[in-house]
């Protein structure tokens, strides 16, 4: 019996920094799906990077109104604090994908890249 290929999820790449001291380069991507949203991180040089994918709830603080301090270094490095209010609203069930795309475009002059990832991690 053939194994089913895992379904992939579309992620908006909201940050990809250039090289530099740790935690650079850093890449952050968001799969906007309300309470089921995921955030993907890749940190460090390509050959030895560390990464993972976590539920959006883990990226938010205990009150679910801001960023968890656990992820502050990555958000600082990627200059992503503009995204935090949108993540809070996303977690609350609001549809903010187009706002994320618009905010990214206003900052970078282009729409975010979309990458496909299988769902993994906690």
Summarised one tens digit per residue, pLDDT across range 46-93 is 767 788 899 999 999 999 999 999 999 999 999 999 999 999 999 999
Do the beta carbons of residue 29 and residue 115 sit within 8 Å? yes
Residue 2 scores a pLDDT above 90 = no
Can you give the residue ranges of every domain in the chain?
A: 11-118
| pLDDT score of 19 | 86
| 80 closest CA partner among 93, 91, 71 | 71
pLDDT of 1 higher than 60: no
Q: 22 falls in which pLDDT band (50, 70, 90)?
A: confident
Residue 39 has φ and ψ, to the nearest 5°, of -125, 130
Q: Is 101 helix (H, G, I), strand (E, B) or coil?
A: helix
The whole-angstrom separation of Cα 91 and Cα 96 is 10
């Amino acid at each position: 019996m053939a194994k089913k290929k895992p379904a992939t999820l579309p992620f908006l790449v909201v940050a990809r920094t250039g090289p530099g001291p740790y935690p650079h380069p850093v890449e952050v991507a968001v799969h906007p799906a309300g309470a089921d949203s995921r955030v993907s991180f890749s940190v460090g040089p390509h050959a030895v990077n560390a990464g993972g994918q976590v539920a959006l709830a883990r990226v938010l603080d205990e009150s679910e109104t801001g960023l968890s301090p656990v992820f502050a270094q990555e958000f600082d490095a990627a200059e992503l604090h503009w995204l935090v209010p949108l993540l809070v609203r996303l977690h609350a069930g609001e549809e903010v994908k187009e706002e994320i795309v618009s905010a990214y475009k206003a900052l970078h002059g282009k729409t975010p890249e979309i990458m496909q990832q299988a769902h993994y991690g906690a």
